[in-house]
Homo-oligomer: A and B are copies of this chain.
Amino acid sequence: MPHLVILYTANIDRLTDMGALCRELGDAMLTVQDEEGRQVFPTGGTRVLAYPAPHFAVADGGAAGRAEGVAGAGRTGVASDDPGDYGFMYLNVRMARGRSAATQQRAGQTVLAAVRARMDPLMQGRHIGITLQVDEGHEVFDAKHSTLHPLFAKK
- Contact yes or no, B130 A64, CB < 8 A: no
Q: Which residues from B are CB-within-8-Å of A109?
A: 141, 143
Q: Which residues from B are CB-within-8-Å of A19?
A: 55-57
**Cβ contacts A1-24/B at 8 Å (1 or 0 each):** 101011111000000001101110
Interface residues in A55-103 (C-beta closer than 8 Å to B): 55-61, 64-65, 68, 86-88, 90, 93, 101
Q: A136-B140, A141-B104 are in contact. Are A23 and B59 (CB under 8 A)?
A: no
Chain B CB within 8 A of A54 CB: yes
Q: Whole-angstrom distance from the CB of A129 to the nearest CB of chain B? A: 4
Number of copies: 3
Q: Which residues from B are CB-within-8-Å of A105?
A: 141
Q: A26-B58, A61-B23, A90-B3 are in contact. Are A128 and B147 (CB under 8 A)?
A: yes
Across the interface, name the chain B residue whose C-beta is closest to A123: B147
- Contact yes or no, B123 A132, CB < 8 A: no
Chain A interface residues toward B at CB < 8 A: 1, 3, 5-9, 18-19, 21-23, 25-27, 30, 43-61, 64-65, 68, 86-88, 90, 93, 101, 104-105, 107-109, 112, 116, 119, 123-124, 126-149, 151-152, 155
